[in-house]
Structure 1
Amino acid sequence: MKIVIRILLSLVVLIIVLVAAVFAMRFYNTQKWGFDGDMEDVNDLSIYPEVFEGGTVEHFEHGAANGFHFIPDDPNDAEPIAVFGGSEGSPNTDTAEFLAENGYEVYAMFFFGADNQVDELNRVPLEFFGDFLEYADLAGTDITLLGASKGAELGLVLTNYYDEINNLILYTPSSYIFMGLSFEGDMASSWTYDGEELPYIDLSQSDFGAFARTMFDFAVLNPVKYRETYESAVEMNDNSEAARIDTGSFDGQALLIAGGDDAMWQGDVMAKQIGEDLGDNAQVEIFEDAGHLFLGPTALAGMMMGGTEEANVQAGEDSDRMVLEFLEENAVN
């Protein structure tokens, strides 16, 4: 009996020590990373600009298309640019404003979460892009598409359905279609066309060790590194080839930009894969010391982005220059 009691007491002490260790790590990581859980509501239209230096901004909504039209007072003679953000759901208006200040007409768009769209990044109907072309009267007109992260995945997918996409600029892109992100646990493809889900990589079919490390990071409030999960899911899914994004329909020029220390997913590897598929039509630029975002922070919203602050900022400045050079060469009439 005494032995049993000692064992139980030892287990209680062990549990107390483990709980204390978890709370200590949570406190440490909160102080280190400063995550407060508050994120800007990207669907609040009041946070977006109505003017920029050298032009105006108009909100538009048509069918399932929703976004902002950046109109320069003195526009370049160039094809218009469609811009997407990533899985945070923003229309990437900072990039749109940068381009518009350099004379380009830009449409910055939501692809989920807006009033006339699906609520989550899950089973997003690609036909919203056709609604955009109809609204902007751009059907049959060459356009450049710029996407970042999940928006880059979307951009490459759209080339299989809309011939209007003449040039691509993809930041930390994906060469695969990955599963959608649903807080309701509805596991499905990110994208649909004509009511049918496109083949996708299921992230639940990934390495258990990667899953366990992710859960541990969640528990102790350490920024989560998702890259290993994405990499192992590509290796472990039986339909990886079916989920690979076809590039055969795209015959324009592409600028593919990624960080070599991307902690979110293997954006550098996938940029090179896309570049190999497109051959001479692709320019691939890898910033070896940069992470997923070229903004500075190495972690954001509880997720590890990678890189160093200095390398990320430098990659942002250098990639801005590359984008303008690419547009001058390929998008200006």
Structure 2
Amino acid sequence: MLSEVGVIVLAGSSGRVDTPRALILAASGVTALALRWWGGPGRQPSISEVPIETITSAVDDLLDMGVGRVSLLGTSKGAEAALLAACFDPRIHSVIAVSPSSVVWEGLGGRPPRSSWTWRGRPLPFVPYDETWQPGPEPVSYASLYLRSLESAAPEAAIPVERAAADLLLIGGGADALWPSCRFIDDLSRRRREAGRPVSVMTHPSAGHRVLFPGEDPPPPSRLLHGGTPEADRALGAMAWPHVLQALAW
């Protein structure tokens, strides 16, 4: 049976469809759609100038199906997309942003540098990567790349969450080694509060980039360093889960 509450699940930069997370959400009684937002038929072949309309069109689809209210749950690069979508689409009720960014980043589609995202055909202002940065041995931590690149970030590259009508729930680990998600969360929450907009924050000092909600399996090994520990990642997920369900509730 179709629930009146819907959620679109956006995975990170891997390009995978996060069906396992969508199934866990569906088991809680919501209509969950795991969206492939890049790669595959009809999608951008890389994370470069991906239309935010990819997400807002999925909102159309759920509303057309009879879902009464739609939220977004995005992780990492998917959280970047979810926050942006809420800035442009007032129909989005809430955004649950796991290990989010507070700025638009350069795309991952090669040279010349391009924005990760577009809206109505126009590339969004972005923070370019510092070209002097060099990775260390695998598994690679990219946190220092993002921190160094932020030093020259233009103000217009900030995700304008202060104008988003949606409620925001921001979830992140203080030991994130992929990018500084808690620094991003601090920036997002500060700008929301200054604008008088609702925001909730859930963090754990020892959790990393890959937060695990109850019932989720540990992710496979990676050549990227994500930080944290499985125990802390699970602890943050367990602590945040009731707030996730509350953010989705009618």
User: What TM-score does the superposition give when structure 1 sets the normalisation length?
Assistant: 0.67
Aligned equivalent of 2:147, options 206, 215, 231? 231
Structure 1 counterpart of 2:242? 321
1:178 matched to 2:118? The reply is: no
- Over residues 238-279 of structure 1, what are the superposed CA-to-partner deviations in whole Å (9 max), with x where a residue is unaligned? x2x110011233133211100000001110111121112222
Partner of 2:13: helix, strand, or coil?
Answer: coil
- Over residues 201-231 of structure 1, what are the superposed CA-to-partner deviations in whole Å (9 max), with x where a residue is unaligned? 10135xx4xx23x1x32xxxx2111011101
Aligned equivalent of 2:179, options 248, 251, 265? 265
- Over residues 37-93 of structure 1, what are the superposed CA-to-partner deviations in whole Å (9 max), with x where a residue is unaligned? xxxxxxxxxxxxxxxxxxxxxxxxxxxxxxxxxxxx4x55x4211110100112322
Spell out the pairing of 1:27-106 with structure 2 (5 A cutoff).
73=1, 76=3, 78-106=4-32
Higher mean C-alpha deviation, range 190-199 or range 122-131? 122-131
Higher mean C-alpha deviation, range 130-139 or range 110-119? 130-139
Partner of 1:82: helix, strand, or coil?
Answer: strand
Structure 2 counterpart of 1:294? 211
1:133 matched to 2:59? The reply is: yes
Look up the equivalent residue of 2:108 and give its one-letter code: L
Spell out the pairing of 1:7-22 with structure 2 (5 A cutoff).
none
Distance 1:158 1:255, change over 3 A: same
Tell me the CA shift for residue 138 of structure 1. Answer: 6.8
Q: Distance in 2 between matches of 1:298 and 1:116?
A: 27
Look up the equivalent residue of 2:205 and give its one-letter code: E
Distance 1:139 1:200, change over 3 A: farther
Q: Distance in 2 between matches of 1:308 and 1:140?
A: 37
Partner of 1:254: helix, strand, or coil?
Answer: strand
Q: Distance in 1 between matches of 2:36 and 2:219?
A: 25
- Over residues 138-189 of structure 1, what are the superposed CA-to-partner deviations in whole Å (9 max), with x where a residue is unaligned? 799631111110011001111222111111111011110001112x444210
Look up the equivalent residue of 2:152 and give its one-letter code: M
Distance 1:149 1:195, change over 3 A: same
Higher helix content, 1 or 2: 1
Structure label with greater radius of gyration:
1
Q: Distance in 2 between matches of 1:319 and 1:90?
A: 23
Structure 2 counterpart of 1:250? 164
Look up the equivalent residue of 2:150 and give its one-letter code: V
Distance 1:325 1:177, change over 3 A: same
Where do 5+ consecutive residues of structure 2 fail to align? none
Look up the equivalent residue of 1:128 and give its one-letter code: T
User: What TM-score does the superposition give when structure 2 sets the normalisation length?
Assistant: 0.88
Partner of 2:200: helix, strand, or coil?
Answer: strand
Q: Which has the higher contact order (CA 8 A, sep 6+)?
A: 2
Tell me the CA shift for residue 119 of structure 1. Answer: 0.6
Aligned-pair identity in percent equals 29
Q: Distance in 2 between matches of 1:226 and 1:126?
A: 25
Partner of 2:59: helix, strand, or coil?
Answer: helix
Partner of 1:95: helix, strand, or coil?
Answer: helix
